[in-house]
Each structure stands twice: as structure tokens, then as C-alpha cells.
């Protein structure tokens, strides 16, 4: 069972890291020694999803500066991901992306992380922060219609990285308890 403070479930998924060949497979162990922001979204070529994916993309340098990598996941195929990344924004696509999208085509990873809507075969909006030792440190799951806050994700990541006790509304640069 998925629990904050315990080992995050392992995974193995094809990604868009090499957009042309689509031959890159990623697993949790690839992020050993790094922070990972893993987020699930319902479907490619939809309405709320591109706002989140582009939002992470617009702030990817901040995640990188904090020693974190970002990985987006849906149950769509890696071929659908590639088409969406390569399609221009004007035509409903992402128009490029600076981090990979992974394909959970078997739906097992969404199931392991507790976000799979079995009867629909898609994932809820789950976001997980996994520490450099593979321990799950944060999780939030929202309904399909509600996008997540990139600002809050960055704030929580930085709070976790302090190693201290961060009171309500703690902001980067403030003292911990």
C-alpha cells in the first residue's frame, strides 16, 4: 500500500525522452540521488492537462536548480505522447516539452500509486514527490477537473529539502521550527 514515508513503488515505462526513437525506458532507480516530481494526468489532447504540463515546463529550470526531475505520466501510449508534444499549441498540442512524458499503457503504475479509475482506464491527477533515496515524501490527488499548483509543488519540494519542521504557510527563505 502506498504511504508517505515509505518506499515509493517501482516502475518501468517508455518515455518521450528521445522523441524520435521513443526507445527510452525509465524506472524509479534512474532517479536515485535526485528528487523526483512524478505526476499523473488523465489523457493527452484534453483541456486541463496541457495547462499543467506547460506549467511544469515553464518552471522546469527551477525544479532542475533544486536537484529535482519532473516526469509526467498518463495511460496513453508513448506514440500519442509524441504526437501531442510535436503538435503546435494552435492545433491543440503542447508545441514542445523540456521533460519527458511516460506511458503507463498497462495501467499498472497508476494502479500502484492509487490513482487509476479502473472503469475508465485513466488516472486521476496524482502528484508525488519522491526523495533521493526513493522514499515517498508527499502526495496529493485531485479530481479530473482540478489542475494542480506548480507554485505549491515548488514550495513543498523546498520545504522537504530543508529537513526541518515547516509551519503553516512556510515560504522558502523563512526559518524552520
Q: Which element (helix H / strand E) includes 122?
A: strand 122-123
Spatial contact of 56 and 99, defined as CB atoms under 8 Å apart: yes
First to last CA, the chain: 31
Q: Which three cell numbers stand for residue 95?
A: 508545441
Query: Which residues are the active-site residues?
Result: 49
Q: What angle do CA 43, 64, 5 make, to 5 degrees?
A: 75
C-alpha separations of 91 from 20, 83, 164 in Å: 20, 11, 46
Spatial contact of 138 and 5, defined as CB atoms under 8 Å apart: no
How many C-beta neighbours within 10 Å does residue 27 have? 11
Q: How far apart are CA 36 and CA 166, in angstroms?
A: 20
Among residues 104, 88, 106, the alpha carbon closest in space to that of 96 is found at 88
Amino acid at each position: 500500500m502506498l504511504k508517505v514515508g515509505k518506499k515509493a513503488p517501482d516502475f518501468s515505462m517508455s518515455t518521450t525522452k528521445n522523441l524520435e526513437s521513443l526507445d527510452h525506458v525509465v524506472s524509479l532507480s534512474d532517479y536515485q540521488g535526485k528528487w523526483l516530481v512524478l505526476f499523473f494526468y488523465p489523457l493527452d489532447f484534453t483541456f486541463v492537462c496541457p495547462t499543467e504540463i506547460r506549467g511544469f515546463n515553464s518552471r522546469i529550470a527551477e525544479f532542475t536548480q533544486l536537484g529535482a526531475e519532473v516526469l509526467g505520466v498518463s495511460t496513453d501510449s508513448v506514440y500519442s505522447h509524441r504526437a501531442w508534444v510535436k503538435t503546435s499549441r494552435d492545433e491543440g498540442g503542447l508545441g514542445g516539452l523540456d521533460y519527458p512524458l511516460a506511458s503507463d499503457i498497462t495501467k499498472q503504475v497508476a494502479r500502484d500509486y492509487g490513482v487509476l479509475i479502473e472503469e475508465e482506464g485513466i488516472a486521476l491527477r496524482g502528484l508525488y514527490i519522491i526523495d533521493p533515496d526513493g522514499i515517498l515524501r508527499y502526495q496529493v490527488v485531485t479530481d479530473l477537473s482540478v489542475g494542480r499548483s506548480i507554485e505549491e509543488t515548488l514550495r513543498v519540494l523546498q520545504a522537504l529539502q530543508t529537513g526541518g519542521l515547516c509551519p503553516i504557510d512556510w515560504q522558502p527563505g523563512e526559518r524552520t521550527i
